[in-house]
Structure 1
């Protein structure tokens, strides 16, 4: 297949999720004042708006671009409980008592999103299917088994050790050397979930405005003034829930502490039902043990394969990334070679120095950031808990609210070091694979 032929005639460089649930524009004039201004219309911002509006607060949500156009609707839509804290390595160097509270909050986030979707009957395509972590090398299989034991012990999730001879019941590929299956994992349609949250927030009385980029917050004696590109408004409280889209102009100190890492994804054209059922039986989420990992899943309607990865050491445009990511996909499933790519897109993940989330006060406002690649459930929870903090209703202190959120050395908001990190990850992965063959 020629280079250009790998794309469908209607190929789009926008998220697959937007086909069913596109972002919104609302350029209505901003109100003069509000009780609470929320910056960001992602899962965190909308869940905060819902909780605050439910308790009678006059809430205004401001988005720099279209409502629902940021990282929340550019994600893979996977949800989990406390696994990411263990898998991502955050367990290292954290006080054991604090870590247990972080795990408890992470587990609560998984329960929260499920309960919210069910209670409010949100159209979100929520599906709890499990997630498979494939071993890129034989040596890494043993490491995955150990990690599975830790996951079960620390978080209480159900973990199954899978060897290569029987993994075809989970993934139709011989690429991996076995792996672990975690039952407590699932997915949503992030576009639909964001749209449903917008609808619920409005129903409860919150006001949502697009194209109202915030440029700063000033503290007055009796209120705060929120400055935007289309006017200013007064508020008693302000919350920045901007994660990987944190703006150094609006929140200069916060921007020194969170790194936006670009994540890329592609979607295939519709596949034969029998093929996708063989590639990923039971519709599970898939990732692997590489440092420069991949993540993949079927679309919620079971018609396409969605595949995410970094395209290389350097960032690039979405169409170039699609060509490179497709090669990584074909390494796992060569039988996808005849099928074309219909969508390619990217978005920013908010990363912190220790791979954990943070909440607190900075730049004359409250904040909650740092999904570290686990944002759907966690950011929903952090938005809800940020609202509880302002309402004075939180049942216990949030574990992620700490005074240890330090700026990243030599970082000015532009992640110049990411190519070096990615290159190092890929080099280590190549060495591991070469040793495995030897």
Structure 2
């Protein structure tokens, strides 16, 4: 493969070009606060905003610059978030809880649009729809069956696009048709995060960046968070670390599977080519188990293309070459176009493919968004803030189910290479 990198190539998130990471000097670390939030991503910021607006002193800690994790590294795609079907959820948790969990997914999609609109956050939010492409004829049949048998009360507008008509949606002959989910949306995740930080500051939240939480304990009087700059006592602590959860809480570490997700951005493309590749400016994904997701940049000048590139984690130079090869397989028209950005982040996956929220005494958590974190992290962050406040509307179906782990898992996903190769094999042979 010829050199694919443009002059001025960056191995940092494309979103940081217009929304640089907030790395202002940290606020002083107080000895006490009503609430300490660990993690300055969407989850932590939404929780902090609710708590601070209720008049409680709130401190947000982050081990790096504010937003250095996946909240400013993701693709900015928003769906209804719940991966298991109603039938799968009902078998595990019963019909009532299953429907409440599915409602959480739909509520998360509605919440983020309502929030962005009400708060006036300029983040290129738009309801553009998702084209979910079928990688095999069997996958298209599954999309048709799902569209024809939507759970009562959770119906969404879906349009099936057969293979002979898919060029109206995507400039690729690789797929076997697909489905348009009209209510799915897109956002500039960097600008959205910056808007949340600004709202939190206005509400009186203190931010202590470049300060890792190194210890966490609780007793009848509350909780204590240790840091290299000293300790801080709190009435409540919110653990909002998701794919960046480490050894701070071994219990949570055993339940979160950190998985690297990689994205590249192309150089600016002619408008006519963009119109060919993505005629209706939708977000796009496909039915592979090892999924690809892609979209136009908000200014509609580039393709942002992401996915899982290998069975083990890799550097962003190697991942760029692999993603570029996949990009050309879908869009041969892009041959010779160069890559300007390549980056990655860790998503938090779980053993049941569900996000989870809950509490242990004074320590609250929300995490495990399984790659659908923009809407769900926002929603569960908000709900976690309400739970800290004891608000009657804090409840979710997600918080009513156990957060599973597996024997022998201690936070290092030793099984991931085998699992990824297994699913790649299934994708290749179409099962």
TM-score range, shorter chain: over 0.9
Q: What is the correspondence of 1:295-334 to structure 2 with a 5 Å cutoff?
A: 295-334=293-332
Q: CA deviation at 1:379?
A: 0.4
Structure 2 residue 163 is matched with structure 1 residue 164 = yes
Distance in 1, Cα, partners of 2:317 & 2:277: 24
Q: What is the correspondence of 1:194-213 to structure 2 with a 5 Å cutoff?
A: 194-213=193-212
Q: Unaligned 5+ residue runs, structure 2?
A: none
Q: CA deviation at 1:369?
A: 1.0
How many residue pairs were aligned? Answer: 430
* Equivalent position of 2:384 in the other structure: 386
Structure 2 residue 44 is matched with structure 1 residue 53 = no
* Equivalent position of 2:270 in the other structure: 272
Q: CA deviation at 1:188?
A: 0.5
Q: Is the 8 A contact 2:83 2:353 kept in 1?
A: no
Distance in 2, Cα, partners of 1:265 & 1:109: 24
* Equivalent position of 1:436 in the other structure: none
* Equivalent position of 1:351 in the other structure: 349
Q: CA deviation at 1:179?
A: 1.0
Q: CA deviation at 1:107?
A: 1.0
Q: Is the 8 A contact 2:81 2:376 kept in 1?
A: no
- Alignment partner for residue 279 of structure 2, among 281, 288, 294? 281
Q: Deviations along 1:234-256, whole A, 9 cap, x unmatched?
A: 111101011111122x1111110
Distance in 1, Cα, partners of 2:18 & 2:351: 35
Q: What is the correspondence of 1:8-407 to structure 2 with a 5 Å cutoff?
A: 8-25=6-23, 26-82=25-81, 84-86=83-85, 93-151=92-150, 153=152, 155-248=154-247, 250-362=248-360, 365-395=363-393, 397-402=395-400, 404-407=402-405
Q: Is the 8 A contact 2:86 2:98 kept in 1?
A: no
Q: Normalized against structure 2, the TM-score is what?
A: 0.96
Q: Normalized against structure 1, the TM-score is what?
A: 0.94
Q: Is the 8 A contact 2:26 2:207 kept in 1?
A: no
Q: CA deviation at 1:363?
A: 8.5
Q: What RMSD over aligned residues (CA atoms) do the two structures have, in Å?
A: 1.8
Distance in 2, Cα, partners of 1:107 & 1:347: 25
Q: Unaligned 5+ residue runs, structure 1?
A: 434-438
Q: Deviations along 1:279-304, whole A, 9 cap, x unmatched?
A: 01121011111111100001111111
Distance in 2, Cα, partners of 1:409 & 1:356: 19
Q: CA deviation at 1:117?
A: 0.7
Q: CA deviation at 1:33?
A: 1.1
Q: CA deviation at 1:70?
A: 0.6
Distance in 1, Cα, partners of 2:224 & 2:260: 32
Q: CA deviation at 1:318?
A: 0.6
Distance in 1, Cα, partners of 2:81 & 2:346: 21
Q: Is the 8 A contact 1:292 1:429 kept in 2?
A: yes
Structure 2 residue 412 is matched with structure 1 residue 414 = yes
Q: CA deviation at 1:320?
A: 0.3
**Alpha-carbon distance change, 400 to 29 in structure 1, aligned in 2, over 3 angstroms:** same
Distance in 2, Cα, partners of 1:325 & 1:363: 44
The worse-fitting range, judged by mean Cα deviation, of 305-314 and 23-32 is: 23-32
Aligned to 1:128, the other structure's residue is in SS state: coil
Aligned to 2:314, the other structure's residue is in SS state: coil
Q: CA deviation at 1:278?
A: 1.3
Q: Is the 8 A contact 1:216 1:227 kept in 2?
A: yes
The worse-fitting range, judged by mean Cα deviation, of 307-316 and 34-43 is: 307-316
Aligned to 1:116, the other structure's residue is in SS state: helix
Q: Is the 8 A contact 1:90 1:355 kept in 2?
A: no
Aligned to 1:281, the other structure's residue is in SS state: coil
* Equivalent position of 1:431 in the other structure: 429
Q: Deviations along 1:184-218, whole A, 9 cap, x unmatched?
A: 10111000000000000000111111111111222
Q: Is the 8 A contact 1:349 1:372 kept in 2?
A: yes
Aligned to 2:140, the other structure's residue is in SS state: helix
Q: CA deviation at 1:27?
A: 2.7
